[in-house]
Amino acid sequence: MMDKEELLSMCKRRGFLWRSAEIYGGEAGFYDYGHLGAKLLDSWKQKWKDFFLGLDENYHMIYTNNIMPHRVMEASGHVDHFSDIMIRCERCDSYFRGDHLIEQETGENAEWMGKEDMKESIKELELSCPDCGGDFSEPEDFNMMFTVSLGPTGQKTGFLRPETAQGTYINFRREYRALRKQMPMGLATIGSAFRNEISPRQVVFRKREFLQAELQIFFVPGIHDEKFKKKYQEIEEMKVNIRREDWDETREVMLKEIDDIQPFYLYHLGKMYEFYTDIMKLSSKDIRFRELSDDEKAFYNKIHFDIEVNFDTLNGWKEVSGLHYRSDYDLRQHQENSNQSLSVSTDDGKKIPHVIELSFGIDRNLWSLLDKGYKDDDRTWLDLPKEITPRQVAVFPLVRKDGLPEKSREVFDKLRSDFRVTWEKSGSIGKRYARNDEVGTSYCITIDYDTLEDESVTIRDIETTEQIRVEIKELNDILKELIYGRKKFKDHMEQED
Ligand code: ATP
């Protein structure tokens, strides 16, 4: 089983991610992405956009502000309710999330607990400070938003957004008109969110500044969701791992067996699952949907499933994204507080649209790729989806003389516009393979003396370490076939035999 520290050490050493402001000792809850991490992030974002915006012609990207005016976050309910329960050690003054301490002790989710339940439970379990053994203070609410002052006097305040969603809701009316009142309408956004987490931990899993990719779909139930009926029928036999709120275990079921949830929601649930299996290439045994109970979910969420991944480095199942049916709560709140109509016209009169939200925490998703991909058996290698991996191809000259470096630069230049590719000449070939295996380079191309004679090169496959020999003129096409899954490496090997 992969150890968190070992994976993090590779990430730091090789340019994926590390603590922000490291040279000053760092600050809990902040991480930066290095050159490989940034490439991984960019390709994941691109795949996310291609996949989810591709679900309907009326799903679009927008970008909105990080700083939200006070009134917006008041209307959304965050000023009054966006809090976690904090407990403080009376001896060493350390702060903890009460539910997390209880969860660690019992193995049971404790997010649903209020202050009174928590006080009781801490007493019953005889919990004390994990740092010094001291006693805890009374549980208290802690609002997790970062306040920012606006302008020179500091009298006006706003908030760093704790989720990207509100920026989308407040732009609903403008986009509805700009898009000529087509419904259902999907508005997606990717950007930073900020939460003053009480105890940031588990590398990028609980950060204070993190990245979200969210798609908000606006529709009037019974009217606009009809459009997806046919699309849903095409996937209704798809099997997903799911744990309903009242089940004791996860079961594999067909979407159509979940007959108490409307097809519009199930269609997006199926597509999220497909994103994890087909695009992120996670094994279905490592992913599941978990339905939240009424105690756990926000009161306005009619249906709430989290997607969870079974992490090796983070002790098991953890939330990476969610699918929320938020009813008409959001637009209703903003309509009431802004005094602007956010309703749409239907044959049945004016209606406030409802929202289905697909919400992904990007950092957690990237960590799941690293966690599931990092293999340390007879060699260390990173098994990432070839379309997402930060480095798809590496090109090496076998030796640093006799014209091989120059020839390999030619090959490198030929590949650059089609792939994420690097050129390396230092160290032995074995070391170069090992370095590239560790960061998930799908294919290594070696230029040797034969190349100068017959214009052919070797391609080495990261998964099997097998090699094939191909002509340079065919190289781009063959790599495309391999990376985009049109042909397998072993098919090429069989062709050679
Ligand atoms: P949690 O219960 O773990 O605090 P949440 O249910 O509050 O998360 P949401 O508000 O649903 O999370 O946010 C959507 C997504 O944003 C989550 O599924 C997660 O991937 C990501 N996310 C939330 N909080 C953080 C954080 N502090 N650091 C990194 N990612 C986060």
The predicted-structure confidence for 344-397, as pLDDT tens digits, reads as follows 999 999 999 999 999 999 999 999 999 999 998 899 999 999 999 999 999 999
- Residue 1's pLDDT is what? 63
- Residue 112's pLDDT is what? 86
Mean predicted confidence (pLDDT) in 422-435 = 95
- pTM, 2 dp: 0.95
* Average pLDDT taken over every residue of the chain: 95
Mean predicted confidence (pLDDT) in 212-241 = 95
Residue intervals of the chain classified under CATH 3.30.930.10 are 34-70+156-373
289-293, Cβ contacts within 8 angstroms, sequence gap of 24 or more: 289/240, 289/241, 289/242, 289/243, 289/323, 290/242, 290/243, 290/250, 290/317, 290/319, 291/242, 291/243, 291/244, 291/245, 292/245, 293/112, 293/245
Tell me the CATH class for 83-143. alpha beta
Q: Cα separation of 211 and 279, whole Å?
A: 19
At residue 495 the predicted structure's pLDDT band, cuts being 50, 70 and 90, is: confident
Strand, helix or coil for residue 163: coil
Beta-bridged to residue 325, according to DSSP, are: 303, 356
List the residue whose alpha carbon is closest to atom 25 of ligand 1. 206
Ligand 1 centroid – CA 409 distance (Å): 44
Ligand 1 centroid – CA 323 distance (Å): 12
Q: Which atom of ligand 1 has the smallest separation from the CA of 306?
A: 18
Ligand 1 centroid – CA 195 distance (Å): 9
Fold (CATH) for 391-496: Rossmann fold (3.40.50)
Residue intervals of the chain classified under CATH 3.30.40.230 are 83-143
Ligand 1 centroid – CA 364 distance (Å): 9
Fold (CATH) for 34-70+156-373: BirA Bifunctional Protein; domain 2 (3.30.930)
Give the binding-site residues of ligand 1, using a 6 Å CB cut-off: 163, 195, 197, 206-207, 210, 212, 319-322, 359, 361, 363-364
Ligand 1 centroid – CA 436 distance (Å): 32
Considering only 100-104, 303-307, 439-443, which range has the smallest mean pLDDT? 100-104
Provide, rounded to the nearest whole percent, the portion of the chain with pLDDT above 70.
Answer: 100
Residue 146 DSSP one-character state: P
Handedness of CA 376, 478, 452, 422 (dihedral sign): negative
* Best of 210, 305, 309, 358 for a ligand 1 pocket test (most atoms within 8 Å of beta carbon): 210
Q: Cα separation of 497 and 494, whole Å?
A: 5
Q: Which residue has the tokens 């306005």?
A: 300
- Residue 424's pLDDT is what? 94
Mean predicted confidence (pLDDT) in 413-435 = 96
Per-residue pLDDT of 5-30, as tens digits, reads 999 999 999 999 999 999 999 999 99
Mean predicted confidence (pLDDT) in 441-449 = 98
* Best of 190, 364, 366 for a ligand 1 pocket test (most atoms within 8 Å of beta carbon): 364
Q: Which atom of ligand 1 has the smallest separation from the CA of 162?
A: 10
List the residue whose alpha carbon is closest to atom 11 of ligand 1. 322
Asked if residue 199 has pLDDT above 90, the reply is no
Residue type, 420: R
Residue intervals of the chain classified under CATH 3.40.50.800 are 391-496
Per-residue pLDDT of 134-186, as tens digits, reads 999 999 999 999 999 999 988 899 999 999 999 999 999 999 999 999 999 99
- Residue 407's pLDDT is what? 97
Beta-bridged to residue 308, according to DSSP, are: 288, 319
Q: Which atom of ligand 1 has the smallest separation from the CA of 208?
A: 27
